Amino acid sequence: MFILFLSLSSVFAQDFSTRYDVYVTLFGNVGYSDVTLKESGDNYEIKLDAYTIGTAAVLLRHRVETYISKGKIINGIYRPELFIKIKETTKKTTSDTYYFNHDKKEITLIEEKTKLVNKMQFNPANFELISKEVKESSKKETLLDIYKDNDVLSSYLNTKANCNKEKKSYRLIAFGAHDEKNSIILSYLEDKERESAKLNFSGNIANIYNLHVEPLDKDDSIVDVLIAFDSDGLLKEALMDEIFWVGKITAKRVYHKISSN
């Protein structure tokens, strides 16, 4: 969910670099996310790095997540050729790389895992068993039996084309965001809904979206995410309402630089 609303952007043939701070009512500032987009001709690359800090970093073993999408821009639509998602902690790293073949409607996934495990080894010098950290690695390549034409980052780069005043609702189906067991709907807010949602944000807000994610467990409550765009057409703030006992989760833009190509 952090990735979904931190990465949401609608861009206009510009490179940009942005940072968002993430706050939780109970813990305060729990992390930040850096988002960069680079375009060259009809090629694009967008990268998102999400970091935990403070108490959250300790609880999540200093977790860092990285998402990268590379591909082509065809008639204003971002079409991925490669999508990478990496999750790292102090003991474990997992990397999933998706290769898109849009002509054949095929996706190849390469899964790589590395972890540190404690193993007992015999020390012949003093005839003792000692515990030593050893790195274990694995790699697996699979031709998936499903095809999706977007990843989570390319899909959100296409937000303006997919969800607007004319097309007010968009069902998100993308690698890195969608699970077959739930549904993710992005809605464009207008009139009373927009005015009510606007009260949750600071000034200079243009478009506002609602991100609705059905829980995997149908008995769980649904908590939507409000997403506010600045007048420059880029994500400024996001708000996830009360979550269990931790409170509200908010993301606010603290640095933003745009450079035209």
Of the CA atoms within 13 Å of residue 11, those in its CB half-sphere come to 30
Alpha-carbon separation of residue 74 from 84, 172, 226 (angstroms):
21, 20, 29
Among 8-22, 84-98, 201-215, 246-260, the least confident range:
8-22
Residue 169 burial (CB count, 10 A): 12
Average pLDDT on 83-104 reads 94
Query: Torsion angle of alpha carbons 146, 223, 240, 167, nearest 10°?
Result: 60
- pLDDT at residue 208 tops 60: yes
**Within 10 A of 70 (CB to CB), how many other CB atoms are there?**
19
> Tokens 């935990």 belong to which residue?
52
Local confidence band at 9 (pLDDT 50, 70, 90 cut-offs) = very low
Sign of the C-alpha dihedral computed for residues 221, 164, 253 and 18 taken in this order:
positive
Cα 172 to Cα 152: distance, rounded to the nearest angstrom: 8
Pick the more confident residue, 8 or 221: 221
pLDDT digits (tens, 9 = 90+) for 227-244: 888 876 678 888 887 766
pLDDT of residue 232: 67
Domain segments of the chain as ranges: 2-260
Q: Please, which pLDDT band fits residue 84 given cuts at 50, 70 and 90? A: very high
Q: What is the mean pLDDT of residues 65-86?
A: 94
At 134 the pLDDT is 83
State residue 180's pLDDT score. Answer: 59
pTM of the model: 0.81
pLDDT tens per residue, range 43-65: 999 999 998 888 777 777 788 99
Which pLDDT does position 57 carry in this prediction? Answer: 76
Residue that wins the pLDDT comparison between 180 and 24: 24
Q: Over pLDDT 70: what percentage of the chain?
A: 86
**Number of alpha carbons in the 13 Å side-chain half-sphere of residue 208:** 23
Residue 11 has pLDDT above 60, yes or no: no
